[in-house]
Structure 1
Amino acid sequence: MSNVTYAFINGIEVSSMPDIFDGPATMVGFADQTVDFAAANLQTMYRFNVGGGYIPPSNDTGIARAWFDDTPYVFGVMQGVTYNAGPRFHVKYPSEIAEYAAPIEVYTGTRSMGSDARVNQNYNLTWTMGVDANFTYVVRLHFCELLLNRPNQRAFDIYVNNKTAQSDADVIEMTSERGVPVYKDFAVHMPDEPGDDVLWIALHPSVALRPQFYDAILSGLEVFKLNDTAGNLAAPDPSPSKMLAEAEMGASDKAGSRKSKEQTHMATVMGGTAGGAAAVGIVAAICVVVYHNKKSRELSGNESHTSGWLPMYNSHTSGSKSSGHLAANLAGMCRHFSLSEMKTATKNFSESLVIGVGGFGKVYSGMVDGDTKVAIKRSNPSSEQGVLEFQTEIEMLSKLRHRHLVSLIGFCEDNNEMILVYDYMEHGTLREHLYNKGGKPPLSWRCRLDICIGAARGLHYLHTGAKYTIIHRDVKTTNILVDENWVAKVSDFGLSKSGSTTVNQAHVSTMVKGSFGYLDPEYFRRQQLTDKSDVYSFGVVLFEVLMARPALNPALPREQVSLADYALICQRKGTLADVVDPTIKDQIAPECLIKFAETAEKCLADQGIERPSMGDVLWNLEFAMQLQTTFDGGSGRQRGEVDGSGRPVLEPSNSYGSTTTLGTSSNSRAHESCVILEEEDDDITNGAAFSQIVQPTGR
């Protein structure tokens, strides 16, 4: 065999890019040493939109970078909680950070540790990434505080490869205000020793500063490889035995075997930061990209794969390869719309018809079949949800038919589009009415109570009425919609789980997902999901309906930040009546308030076993309505009449069961009468899945 070897490339493309490397990086483990990586040749190893979905190059203005989902690289079962402030959140780039440092979508989403301080102090929020040994790497961490606005509310320590990179990091202290991006650069050398082919990034709440919240956040993460002393970026080819071993072991097992080691070879470290032969670096980088593309083709579709090169995971793009099979798999479940029908229904997806933006994409109001008004949800290529969620929603929600659940009408998958069509909810979300969003009028107490009863009916059906138990997992006021007849309908089943056993017999072990303020603390601690997790979230909803204040409000004093905690304090002190929403305070019967508050309090029990079932919650709410009716004198208005301000009393729906019309107190502000339904027999089967129809922010 000849000892002569050759290298070749098929093409080189050079494009002008702004300078995003503006200063030295602190060498981890050597506080007095820095690396001037602006003068080195760099290869991008990883680029993550932490807590968010894939961002294609077309959405990264100026530099055209691809940002990937970080989920496959989060280490361990404690993966924290993601939060997205939504596209309307205003990000204010400071003068020292250019807007092309990272897209706005990176800074409007975060991954944090969660709300339980005791749990957070006992684990690290950790990412692990395969890298090449004997190279120096620069780690860039992007931060943007979205919820808090004062120093020392959230402070944390940053670790790189089990060494402290920065202690007591406080984003507000770095930026002075909420919504201002900032990034930190750290350099670390990976010696050529066994086990040193995994890069660890970890965050842990600061204990020394004793902040208000023991938590940590991260918005974006980038990892760059610097050339070695010879100007080289290429790593030696792995041996066949090593490749086989890596294929057989999971990324987490491989990462877990690594132990902390002392940094050595400082001469190699500093030498690796020097400028080298630029042409050699470019050729080596292109060869690496060719190798990466080859591996991508071999490993496409494997979401759990952890690559030593660029991330392979993209739920949206990888899923599109199989979306062509959806129509055949889902034939007969619901209607299959063509893309031309969807364009006609939405006037070619006109921005004027957008009624909401959620984790899946934009939601449009539209007309199908000439006169049927619908909500049309179109997937965004940068969405955190992909074909698997799309298919699950269709398979599950198409089997549900219940008065208090939003119905799926059909879907479209032409030309790799992912579009879902739902019943249109004329009066939007419960949250909009509680906070007078979009000009929505405030609801009377009776109407609020009736909406809570309807939502409880929908959740009770999910827990007990279908073939398999269904746990919603994201119960909140944004996900309770109201139709033209003021009938409440539960929506957004994107996080729901179903099992083949009843929840009374078993739990579902799952990664913690949900929404800040509504999340069951027991579920967060144990990662064991039961129907009582929905009960807890619904308890927060009940207090939110009563008090008309958000589940979390960091601007309030510490004891009032969490609605659940504050409401329980007021309930136990006997001062709850003093914090009731002033617009309904005079409408509530004292006995009704007592029963309603007791029901909500039981829902928020710390242990799931102490919480009532959703059936018990429903019974108690209906009893509270009876107490309100007795207080009002039991003489409800008849439908079709007008109220004291000349507004028509709402007409009841005649599609399901019998109805009982209940009156209201004389000083109701709006919607003086709502329908209470007798138990109806629904043609029900199995399922549940739905993502935000009208959701101003993603998860």
Structure 2
Amino acid sequence: MKDKLRSHLWFHLVYICVALSILHVLGKSSGTNSQSYVIACGSSSRGTDSDGRVWMPDSKFLVSSADSVPAAAAFQDPSLPSTVPYMSARVFTSQASYRFSVPSKTRVWFRLHFYPCTYSNLDPSDAYFGVTANEFTLMNNFSASITAQALTQAYIIREFSLPLVESGDLNITFTPTVAHDGAYAFINGIEMIRMPDIFEQATMVGFSDQAVTVDVSSLQTLYRLNVGGQYIPPTNDSSLTRTWYDDTPYLFGAAAGVTSEADKNVKVQYSPDVPEYIAPLDVYSTARTMGPDPKVNQNYNLTWVFQIDANFTYVVRFHFCDFLLSKVNQRVFDIFVNNQTAQAAADVIAWSGSEGAPVYKDFAAYVSDGPGDEQLWVALHPSASMKPEYYDAILNGLEIFKINDSNGNLAGPNPVPSQMLVHAEAEAAKKFAPSGHSGTGQVIGGIAGGVLGFIVVVLVCLFVRHRRNVANGTESGVGKWLPLYGSSHASTTSKSTISGKSNGSSHLSSLAGGLCRHFSLFEIKHATKSFDESRVIGVGGFGKVYKGMIDGGSTQVAIKRSNPSSEQGVHEFETEIEMLSKLRHKHLVSLIGFCEEDGEMILVYDYMANGTLREHIYKGNKPPLSWKQRLEICIGAARGLHYLHTGAKYTIIHRDVKTTNILLDEKWVAKVSDFGLSKTGPNLNQTHVSTVVKGSFGYLDPEYFRRQQLTEKSDVYSFGVVLFEVLCGRPALNPSLPKEQVSLADWARHCHRKGTLEEILDPHIKGQVSPECYKKFAETAEKCVADRGLDRPSMGDVLWNLEFALQLQENPGAAKFEAEHVDATAVSGENQDSNPNAAFSQLVNPSGR
């Protein structure tokens, strides 16, 4: 009887335990308990995402729903990871809040999901709003549309962490920006998770006796990287559902070290000091080291560069786990943050106590204000003074968090877009708005793509040693959560030679005086109504771009103005004038003139009404170009580059060919822009120019990257990436994809060789491309991105093949017949005449023969 009773009680106990476990899991996934919420905003019922998580409707969490409406997205971007929560939204026309009950005296982590799209016929560009969480300001004048365009992402995720010391409620409030006409707020999804407080104190870099108390601060996650490893999706990060990205795009220079993975015999052992929730096993079981050669390692830093917002303190968390070595003083290295020593003589084994034992270190750094975006640099270097057994360094993971300022603010500026924001037609219709108008139809003009060329310089320039001290002056938006691959402008370490600070000014005037127009500052101010903010059509690292009218209002121009008194961009300013003042070609953007008066550096260009090529291929919210239009634009750009390589007095290497530097005028004629990085090529007795690597990640010639030897074939490689962008309708780099697909050049080349390239064609042009044209175009693009420059065609060959592809598209039979009558040397490659126009002109208009 006792046995039977004991068995009965045991059965009920097990049943209760199992039931509680099920309820706990259900509560966690569906957001029904008081510690975790997963909310699909604007949805009327539960929904399951692609990871199997259940999202609850948001109605019961709304404090007031009088001025909010649920809405459905007008279209689904193919890059969305799931329809839930992104295809439904809650739209607010006035201030409204969500309220979540959470335990007091705890830390809460939450994520906000935004998918900028048309909701209830509302224009996405009118969504300007602020977000607060209790007393903390998270976003101010945030534009999801601008941010998504700048990041070339369809959706945005922002992750924050707040300490809830007293209150047991978390109130998230959305407030449309009053100053913006017709502004509204929206949100697609909210995740709220009670998480262990993993922060204590972080040592202040440069002040070893000072520390930042992190556990009482609000934080925003900016970067979370699996260093040396692959992308880790939220489903592989236990219950914390964090995303860990590949670190490769952030590496500075060609020296990327080597990656390693823990042997199966080495087991990563967590400890009470480093529990499993600090970082997943995949982070600690992969690493990036400097390599096996001690002489090489002593001569470089393993460096990463990140874009951040100025005037904030940042916590940089380093994750270490040495699974390759087992003894103290085998590998000792120094850690630098923003060119300051954060930790001298770091020894992972000494910290952790054994092989395969994780450890992490937190350091804090304050970044002072400066023009445009700022950078945070992280570097490792072997500590020679400790005489370790191996001159090497190691890193497994890296996280960067922004800390709120003294006012409880985390908001930074909206990022600078990589393409236009609003239709050019709207700008043309409204002409020039009065100065009191705040730019509801803000249009980014053609030369904005040129400005953005300056933005990427810093990732491939010399290490920044001087911080900039010019105030930004904008209080909007929020920093970055999804990875960024564009970088800010480069700073210069020399004094300006333009602005009257030295005699360089007169040199520049005499150099360009007879070749392009020298504007007075009075003329520039008159053209821009004294730099009226309503005239701003773009902002970049060099400064703002204004739309202006000169010559009595008869000529429309784009005016690029440097930040006043800035020491940045002097070399690029001079190079742009030197190059463009001597060049005139239908497919090169025209420099009309410049101004260098009263400390100003100003460039005046033709206005490009249709903006950049990139915005018409993807993430531009504009009707996609047809295949024939794309092909004709590529041909125009190739003509411009071919002229640079062969038609000028000296070979000119552009060095920053990309889709944002190919501009389109009102007739859709392609023009190559932004010559700030251009370089005069080798003479007849040279094969290359040795120079510091500069350019844009995703487009950089790997041979130039490795050897720092520049040739015109470097432009050919970059143009090959452009061709694949046009064909596939995706960015050169996309961090949300699996590691092997992040780089478009690598992935497209792999697919072409396997015969699967057609599977990743842009859906907008599928069915438009003839098989013959596709074959020729794809073959040309693949040859352009060959690893070795010798294996790439000249730009003349590329141009010939694109012309031929166009004829194959329009009249396959006639084009094939023409090709049979063209001398074979026209497509042979290196021995082609420097001006092949005679050969391929027959293909341009075969009916005229």
Give me the whole-angstrom Cα distance separating, in 2, the residues matched to 1:518 and 1:449: 19
Q: How does 1:195-344 map to 2 (within 5 A)?
A: 206=394, 209=396, 314-315=493-494, 317=496, 320=499, 321-322=501-502, 324-325=505-506, 326-344=508-526
Give me the whole-angstrom Cα distance separating, in 2, the residues matched to 1:454 and 1:183: 38
Q: What's the CA shift for 1:339? A: 1.1
Q: Is the 8 A contact 1:408 1:420 kept in 2?
A: yes
Q: Is the 8 A contact 2:657 2:718 kept in 1?
A: yes
Instruction: Establish whether residue 401 from structure 1 lines up as the match of residue 584 from structure 2.
Output: yes
Q: What's the CA shift for 1:441? A: 2.1
Q: Which has the higher strand share?
A: 2
Which amino acid in structure 2 is aligned with residue 493 of structure 1? F
Q: Which moved more, 1:373-382 or 1:414-423?
A: 373-382
Q: Determine the structure 2 residue equivalent to 1:461.
A: 643
Q: Determine the structure 2 residue equivalent to 1:415.
A: 598
Q: What's the CA shift for 1:543? A: 0.4
Instruction: Establish whether residue 537 from structure 1 lines up as the match of residue 718 from structure 2.
Output: yes
Give the counterpart of 1:435 among 618, 628, 632.
618
Query: Cα distance 1:204–1:476, how it changes in 2: closer, same or farther (>3 A)?
Result: farther
Secondary structure of the 1:377 match is strand
Secondary structure of the 2:548 match is strand
The root-mean-square deviation of aligned C-alpha atoms, in Å, is 5.1
Give me the whole-angstrom Cα distance separating, in 2, the residues matched to 1:112 and 1:185: 10
Secondary structure of the 1:428 match is coil
Secondary structure of the 1:391 match is helix
Give me the whole-angstrom Cα distance separating, in 2, the residues matched to 1:564 and 1:184: 27
Cα deviations by residue, 1:211-258 (Å, 9 ceiling, x for unpaired) = 7xxx99999xxxxxxxxxxxxxxxxxxxxxxxxxxxxxxxxxxxxxxx
Secondary structure of the 2:559 match is strand
Q: Is the 8 A contact 2:515 2:581 kept in 1?
A: yes
Secondary structure of the 2:593 match is strand
Q: How does 1:129-140 map to 2 (within 5 A)?
A: none
Q: How does 1:643-682 map to 2 (within 5 A)?
A: none
Q: Which has the higher contact order (CA 8 A, sep 6+)?
A: 1
Q: Determine the structure 1 residue equivalent to 2:730.
A: 549
Q: Is the 8 A contact 2:319 2:359 kept in 1?
A: no
Q: What's the % identity of the aligned pairs?
A: 59
Q: Is the 8 A contact 1:410 1:421 kept in 2?
A: yes
Give me the whole-angstrom Cα distance separating, in 2, the residues matched to 1:455 and 1:154: 47
Give me the whole-angstrom Cα distance separating, in 1, the residues matched to 2:400 and 2:845: 45
Q: Which moved more, 1:337-346 or 1:409-418?
A: 337-346
Query: Cα distance 1:142–1:576, how it changes in 2: closer, same or farther (>3 A)?
Result: closer
Q: What's the CA shift for 1:565? A: 1.0
Give me the whole-angstrom Cα distance separating, in 1, the residues matched to 2:511 and 2:657: 30
Give me the whole-angstrom Cα distance separating, in 2, the residues matched to 1:93 and 1:381: 35
Query: Cα distance 1:385–1:440, how it changes in 2: closer, same or farther (>3 A)?
Result: farther
Q: Is the 8 A contact 2:318 2:361 kept in 1?
A: no
Instruction: Establish whether residue 371 from structure 1 lines up as the match of residue 371 from structure 2.
Output: no
Q: How does 1:437-516 map to 2 (within 5 A)?
A: 437=620, 439-499=621-681, 501-502=683-684, 505-516=686-697
Which amino acid in structure 2 is aligned with residue 466 of structure 1? A
Which amino acid in structure 1 is aligned with residue 747 of structure 2? Y
Q: Determine the structure 2 residue equivalent to 1:361.
A: 543
Which amino acid in structure 2 is aligned with residue 390 of structure 1? F
Query: Cα distance 1:92–1:376, how it changes in 2: closer, same or farther (>3 A)?
Result: farther
Q: What's the CA shift for 1:387? A: 2.8
Which amino acid in structure 2 is aligned with residue 609 of structure 1? L
Query: Cα distance 1:170–1:591, how it changes in 2: closer, same or farther (>3 A)?
Result: farther
Query: Cα distance 1:493–1:384, how it changes in 2: closer, same or farther (>3 A)?
Result: farther
Which amino acid in structure 1 is aligned with residue 758 of structure 2? A
Q: What's the CA shift for 1:494? A: 1.0
Which amino acid in structure 2 is aligned with residue 446 of structure 1? K
Q: How does 1:615-630 map to 2 (within 5 A)?
A: 615-630=796-811
Instruction: Establish whether residue 570 from structure 1 lines up as the match of residue 751 from structure 2.
Output: yes
Q: Is the 8 A contact 1:324 1:416 kept in 2?
A: no
Which amino acid in structure 2 is aligned with residue 352 of structure 1? S
Which amino acid in structure 2 is aligned with residue 577 of structure 1? E
Q: Determine the structure 1 residue equivalent to 2:818.
A: none
Query: Cα distance 1:182–1:551, how it changes in 2: closer, same or farther (>3 A)?
Result: closer
Q: Determine the structure 2 residue equivalent to 1:159.
A: 335
Q: Determine the structure 2 residue equivalent to 1:581.
A: 762
Secondary structure of the 1:366 match is strand
Give me the whole-angstrom Cα distance separating, in 2, the residues matched to 1:586 and 1:153: 49
Query: Cα distance 1:534–1:593, how it changes in 2: closer, same or farther (>3 A)?
Result: same
Q: Is the 8 A contact 1:366 1:375 kept in 2?
A: yes
Which amino acid in structure 2 is aligned with residue 159 of structure 1? I
Query: Cα distance 1:204–1:340, how it changes in 2: closer, same or farther (>3 A)?
Result: farther
Give the counterpart of 1:603 among 784, 787, 794.
784
Secondary structure of the 1:587 match is coil
Query: Cα distance 1:118–1:112, how it changes in 2: closer, same or farther (>3 A)?
Result: closer
Q: What's the CA shift for 1:205? A: 6.8
Q: Is the 8 A contact 2:560 2:604 kept in 1?
A: yes
Query: Cα distance 1:217–1:478, how it changes in 2: closer, same or farther (>3 A)?
Result: farther
Q: How high is the TM-score relative to the length of structure 2?
A: 0.43
Give me the whole-angstrom Cα distance separating, in 2, the residues matched to 1:627 and 1:506: 35
Secondary structure of the 2:631 match is helix
Which amino acid in structure 2 is aligned with residue 361 of structure 1? G
Q: What's the CA shift for 1:386? A: 3.0
Cα deviations by residue, 1:393-426 (Å, 9 ceiling, x for unpaired) = 2122101001110010000111110000001111
Cα deviations by residue, 1:534-558 (Å, 9 ceiling, x for unpaired) = 1111111100100011111111111
Q: Is the 8 A contact 1:532 1:613 kept in 2?
A: yes
Q: Is the 8 A contact 1:376 1:421 kept in 2?
A: yes
Secondary structure of the 2:513 match is coil
Q: What's the CA shift for 1:493? A: 1.0
Cα deviations by residue, 1:337-390 (Å, 9 ceiling, x for unpaired) = 111211121122122222222332111111111120111000124867433332
Q: Is the 8 A contact 1:462 1:469 kept in 2?
A: yes
Q: Is the 8 A contact 2:608 2:663 kept in 1?
A: yes
Cα deviations by residue, 1:88-111 (Å, 9 ceiling, x for unpaired) = x9998876679999xx9xxxxx97
Cα deviations by residue, 1:513-549 (Å, 9 ceiling, x for unpaired) = 1101111111111000011111111111100100011
Cα deviations by residue, 1:272-295 (Å, 9 ceiling, x for unpaired) = xxxxxxxxxxxxxxxxxxxxxxxx
Q: Is the 8 A contact 2:587 2:672 kept in 1?
A: yes
Give me the whole-angstrom Cα distance separating, in 1, the residues matched to 2:399 and 2:691: 22
Which amino acid in structure 2 is aligned with residue 409 of structure 1? I
Q: What's the CA shift for 1:117? A: 4.5
Give me the whole-angstrom Cα distance separating, in 2, the residues matched to 1:589 and 1:305: 49
Give me the whole-angstrom Cα distance separating, in 1, the residues matched to 2:784 and 2:542: 30
Q: How does 1:9-158 map to 2 (within 5 A)?
A: 112-114=251-253, 117=256, 121-122=290-291, 158=334
Q: Is the 8 A contact 1:92 1:181 kept in 2?
A: no
Unaligned runs of 5+ in 2: 1-149, 163-212, 223-248, 259-288, 310-316, 323-332, 349-357, 366-372, 386-390, 403-461, 470-490, 816-836
Q: How many residues align?
A: 426
Secondary structure of the 1:586 match is coil
Query: Cα distance 1:184–1:633, how it changes in 2: closer, same or farther (>3 A)?
Result: closer
Give me the whole-angstrom Cα distance separating, in 2, the residues matched to 1:467 and 1:448: 30
Secondary structure of the 1:356 match is strand
Query: Cα distance 1:604–1:91, how it changes in 2: closer, same or farther (>3 A)?
Result: same
